[in-house]
Structure 1
């Protein structure tokens, strides 16, 4: 065999080896790229699932918070309506016909159970109805006197008998019955 043929054979074998190595490298490259794409798809799917789960949690929390705020606003509106009813009740009593108002005050004064003492009214009531209330209450065997001092109230009175002071203002009377009748007011307003 000549040198040329040996050289040719070596070159041919080297070429074949190189071609096989390149083919094997391309095959491995394709496998690596396919695996990388497959892994990327899995990662992307995982990220998308995590984003969806997190967004669902955020939406759920925000929705719950919104519902809570709505309930609080409704409750506050109902409480405001109930308070408005009690404020109107105070106003209704204070603005009732003078004769009915006097009768109302006399009954409260007598129902207290104390038979004597000094009665303090607000300035307006002291001037307009105070003496009439005292006279009518005393006709029932009591010994009340009209005080020259006044109280700060929309209506009603304060009775001072010795060291005992009894507040019977319209506001305090409504406040005293407020807790008891609030369920009835709520039922009447919202049922």
Structure 2
């Protein structure tokens, strides 16, 4: 075997080995590219899923905020409507006059009188415009006298120093009690809700 043949054999062997290495490298490169593409697809898929979840969370949050704001606006509108109704009631009650006003005032004084002893000196306060009416009614009660004005829609505040009792029988207090005790029903009727 000549040196040239040996060199040629080594070269052939080296070429074969280079082909194998190249083939292995290409296979390995294809695997790496395939793995990288699979990883990239998984990352893209995960990113899309996370983006979808984030969009859904944001949508839910905005929807929840909008619902809350709408509920607050509804409650505020209801509160305003109830306040308007109450103001109307107060205006109409304050405007009661004549025999109706006398009858109501007398009934409130009678109810308050039940709280005091017969021999008590009783002071009665009322709306300034009702002074004459209250004084006339008090002529029927021994020991009762008009003692001054109270800022109210009508009715009376009755008190006695000796028995240390005060009865607030103003139209305002009657409205307050009726309003508090019937607010749910008033609201239901006003807003057509079932009770």
Q: Using structure 1 for the length normalisation, give the TM-score.
A: 0.82
1:36 positional shift: 0.9
The answer to whether the 8 Å contact 1:117/1:143 transfers is yes
Give matches, 1:155-170, under 5 Å: 155-162=154-161, 163-170=164-171
1:178 positional shift: 1.3
Structure 1: state its 5+ residue gaps. none
1:38 positional shift: 0.7
Q: Distance in 2 between matches of 1:164 and 1:178?
A: 25
Question: What corresponds to 1:55 in structure 2?
Answer: 55
User: Structure 1 segments of 4 or more deviating over 4 A?
Assistant: none
Closer/same/farther in 2, CA of residues 51 and 42 from structure 1, 3 Å limit: same
Q: Distance in 2 between matches of 1:177 and 1:138?
A: 30
Structure 2: state its 5+ residue gaps. none
Question: What corresponds to 1:151 in structure 2?
Answer: 150
Q: Distance in 2 between matches of 1:121 and 1:26?
A: 106
Q: Distance in 2 between matches of 1:81 and 1:178?
A: 14
Q: Distance in 1 between matches of 2:139 and 2:183?
A: 35
Say whether 1:39 aligns with 2:39: yes
Q: Distance in 2 between matches of 1:159 and 1:46?
A: 78
Q: Distance in 2 between matches of 1:134 and 1:159?
A: 13
Of 80-89 and 40-49, deviating more is 80-89
1:71 positional shift: 2.1
Q: Distance in 1 between matches of 2:15 and 2:160?
A: 126
The answer to whether the 8 Å contact 1:159/1:167 transfers is yes
Say whether 1:117 aligns with 2:122: yes
CA RMSD of aligned residues (A): 2.3
The answer to whether the 8 Å contact 2:125/2:150 transfers is yes
Cα offsets for 1:170-191 (capped at 9, x unmatched): 2211111112222331122111
Closer/same/farther in 2, CA of residues 78 and 142 from structure 1, 3 Å limit: farther
The answer to whether the 8 Å contact 1:120/1:151 transfers is yes
Give matches, 1:95-114, under 5 Å: 95-112=95-112, 113=114, 114=116
Question: What corresponds to 1:64 in structure 2?
Answer: 64
Of 33-42 and 102-111, deviating more is 102-111
* Number of equivalences: 185
